[in-house]
Amino acid sequence: MVVSKQNSALERPFFEKPIKLLIVVAPYYKKIADQLVNGARAEIDAATALLELVEVPGALEIPTAIAIAHRKLDFDGYVALGCIIRGETTHYDTVCNDSSRALQLLGLQGACIGNGILNVENLNQAEDRSDVSKQNKGGGAALAALHLIALSQKWGKPKRNVGFLTIDEISKT
């Protein structure tokens, strides 16, 4: 067993105006998901931000739900929460890689996302990482989203489009 080191973390950012975050969680492993949500909720509450929570069937659906919300709704940021535990097939690798890659692409398009989808070998690792009194990865994901929102607000609106345009965006130009 590897003992994890205590890493340094940035201080929670301060916001002059209320911000709103969407937590998207896949409750496939309900106990783990609940602990991740508890950690994220505590961090968001401490930042006096508003939050909404939505559940999706699995980790592969998390990026799609965030993409829909980012296009259609007015959230400042997103927290992706779930757990993928290695099984006997390569499905684990597919779900880990594809969900992470999709979240990264959304981030590159301007979505402020904290990724709290656990990729673990076993249930004990998931429990340690989700527990708010241990590694608190849900809280860490919420804090990451808060920092990205603060950075986005600091730098203001984009000067030019980055990435691909949607059909709606093309029709507006």
Catalytic annotation, residues: 91
Angle formed by the axes of helices 123-130 and 137-155, nearest 10°: 50
Encoded amino acid at 24, one letter: V
103 CA to centre of own chain? 8
Sheet containing strand 20-25, strands side by side: 50-55, 20-25, 77-85, 113-120
Encoded amino acid at 34, one letter: D
Among 102, 128, 127, 129, which residue's Cα sits nearest to residue 116? 129
Among 21, 67, 63, 70, which residue's Cα sits nearest to residue 42? 21
